Amino acid sequence: ADADPRRARRALVVSAAALVAGLVDLVTGLRFVPGLVATTPLAAYGLVRAPRLGRRGRAVAVVALGGAVGVWITQFLGGAGPQWGGRYLLTSGACGLALAAASSVAGGSGARRVFVALAVMGLAVTAVGVVWTVERTRATAAAMARLADRPEEVLVFEDGFLAREGGPLVLDEHWLAVPDTLTPDAPALADLLTTLGVERVGLVERERGQEPALVAGHRPVGVDRIEWVSGLALRVSTYELAP
């Protein structure tokens, strides 16, 4: 039995919260699961149990929490979450896992049961992430194949990272990416298309319900929607060279 019932209750509360977070991620469907607690609930459990492990346990917890706070304060918030993830929290997570393992050894049967339950939940969330990655890869390949079959002479992507999703397929296609400093209606894009002798062009955007963009020197002639992944879709607006 735990010598300090209050610490045991705190550990159980954190464990329950971690389990709920993991279950919510599982029932909402396949997707990228963010968050240290949701993906590695054992780490949170270990940090809560650290005081029971004495001076060394508290020292490890200080390192883990200090590193996490430093990351949260200084990290750059941007896109590409699945690609970048919480790599700078790996040290904090590893410390939490070590504390959880030590606590399960030093604690009673109750601590070991909690350890096993949270380990299973963490593995389940990881499995969801792996399956989601497979689904996303296949869906992206299908969407890019449909783009490659488009009749336009050139496809212009508003997001260069989106075009890069095509992988080696891009090497055989006439695809352009609009720089962040340039908009589709910029004369520079029209000049480039004219230089290339392009009369029919497709503008690829993420579907957000926005108004169709304008392409300088061209008139719109049609819009198509291509399903992508996890409810996301791509919109391809077709333009022809204006007379």
Last residue of one domain, picked from the residues 135, 165, 184: 135
State pLDDT tens for residues 59-104.
999 999 888 888 888 876 666 666 666 778 888 889 998 998 888 8
Q: How many domains does the chain have?
A: 2
Share of the chain above pLDDT 70, in %: 81
State pLDDT tens for residues 182-236.
677 777 877 888 888 888 999 898 888 877 777 777 888 889 999 988 778 999 9
Range of the domain at 21: 5-135
Last residue of one domain, picked from the residues 135, 167, 190: 135
Share the mean pLDDT of the chain. Answer: 80
**82 Cβ neighbours under 8 A, 6+ residues apart:** 32, 133, 136
Last residue of one domain, picked from the residues 103, 135, 167: 135
What is the distance in angstroms between the CA of the first residue and the CA of the last residue of the chain? 84
Within-domain flag for 50: yes
pTM attached to this predicted model? 0.70
Q: Is the C-alpha dihedral spanning 170, 172, 174, 179 positive or negative? A: positive
Please check whether residues 95 and 209 belong to one and the same domain: no
CB contact at 8 A, 216 and 204: no
Within-domain flag for 144: no
